[in-house]
Structure 1
């Protein structure tokens, strides 16, 4: 075959498109030079809980400039946890919401955490390489700043104590090695918690058809009283006084009634000079 024939075969036919064009996944083009961060996660650390392991991994990843997500979690038998880079995998074609900061490019970075019979978690590096550039600032990354179970409990407790979201954020940032938590996440966590507290209680007052119940003998306020007691115990002096006054008005409404007016007929015989009736 002559060079002319070879050149002709390499040229696409006019009017025909590349048949593989529609089969290409919706991914970002990876960089030519891979980044290997295996040494940053190769550790002999033993983690007491699953959340401790996640907190450490996400803290290290944030320092390096990428986000970590949970790919798979197995709680049956030997507990395992598969972690991957936020940019692993590809987007599905029907997905309309794509965060351009974290466009997927099939990043191969993988970590595995597993629970030992001794009662601790350990971490191994399956692949420490990335095929994309790192980000300089992950402060607005919702994955990097995701709250763990312990932090969620703290948000709930501080919400019960009427602590402002700004102060909750400052408290959480003091406890974290990274700076990935945002005020938006605090507001979202508070909102979900408040809805979870209000929703089930309102459903107790209506039947399955939405009609208010006439017999409410099965409705109890013990959960509310217990929650008030917990909030009262953790509150400061001024908040305790406020809670006590509000409960006093509910428990003893008769003591809050206004004083009866003086009888008007007595004033007709009152001597303002001698101050006698």
Structure 2
């Protein structure tokens, strides 16, 4: 993986890390492999196109993978003004069944990214998730009335590589409250707690 260019135009070449002669049994196996390689190199892989052979001319089995920063942000779809992570990244991998039937082969179509790669996955929707142990720890500390910021510090003490932030802790606490409340409204739940 190499970074090319000056500070005004960052190009990161990941062709070498995604180039393989390995054959895969299924498209899901290709996706799993690509995401694992992407995780190791701070590239979030998404499916940009998936086709199945169905007898229609031009339709063959294939899987096209790209970077999550590929494509252009469509501001007409959003009613709010937000920053977009999309920057039309040209990175593309294509997977298709080999002609000899030995499995799916992977080909790097364009291995260069037009953006820098993150140092970590802080705040990334797919990567920044609580593990089973972290979920349990958040539940335990929440029951003990520990503040979210202290829960985050505790989780980072246990695992310095963790990308957990206060937002994830707040979400988990909110989900716990919804599960505890069940089908009751907030007011009904409050009245039930007062009765108890």
Compute the TM-score of the two structures, normalised by the length of structure 1. Answer: 0.40
Structure 1 residue 86 displacement after superposition: 0.7
2:18 maps to what in 1?
41
* Unmatched tracts of structure 2, length 5 or more: 1-6, 54-58, 137-161, 176-196
| 1:166 partnered with 2:132 | yes
Structure 1 residue 99 displacement after superposition: 7.3
1:116 maps to what in 2?
98
Mapping of 1:30-179 within 5 angstroms? 31-76=8-53, 78-96=60-78, 100=83, 103-116=85-98, 118-138=101-121, 140-143=123-126, 166=132
Q: What's the Cα RMSD here?
A: 3.7
1:116, 1:66 → 2: CA distance?
A: 26
Structure 1 residue 132 displacement after superposition: 0.4
Q: 1:123 to 1:169 in 2, by over 3 A?
A: farther
Q: 1:65 touches 1:136 (CA, 8 Å); kept in 2?
A: yes
Please state whether the residue corresponding to 2:76 is helix, strand or coil: coil
Q: 2:50 touches 2:63 (CA, 8 Å); kept in 1?
A: yes
Structure 1 residue 116 displacement after superposition: 2.8
Please state whether the residue corresponding to 2:75 is helix, strand or coil: coil
User: Which whole-Å deviations, capped at 9, do the CAs of 1:30-89 have from their partners, x for residues lacking one?
Assistant: 951311110111100111222111111111112222211111100125310011111111
Higher relative contact order (CA 8 A, sep 6+): 2
2:4 maps to what in 1?
none
Q: 2:64 touches 2:94 (CA, 8 Å); kept in 1?
A: yes
Of Structure 1 and Structure 2, the greater helix share is in 1
Q: 1:66 touches 1:138 (CA, 8 Å); kept in 2?
A: no
2:103, 2:128 → 1: CA distance?
A: 24
Q: 1:71 to 1:94 in 2, by over 3 A?
A: same
Of Structure 1 and Structure 2, the greater strand share is in 2
User: Which whole-Å deviations, capped at 9, do the CAs of 1:216-261 have from their partners, x for residues lacking one?
Assistant: xxxxxxxxxxxxxxxxxxxxxxxxxxxxxxxxxxxxxxxxxxxxxx
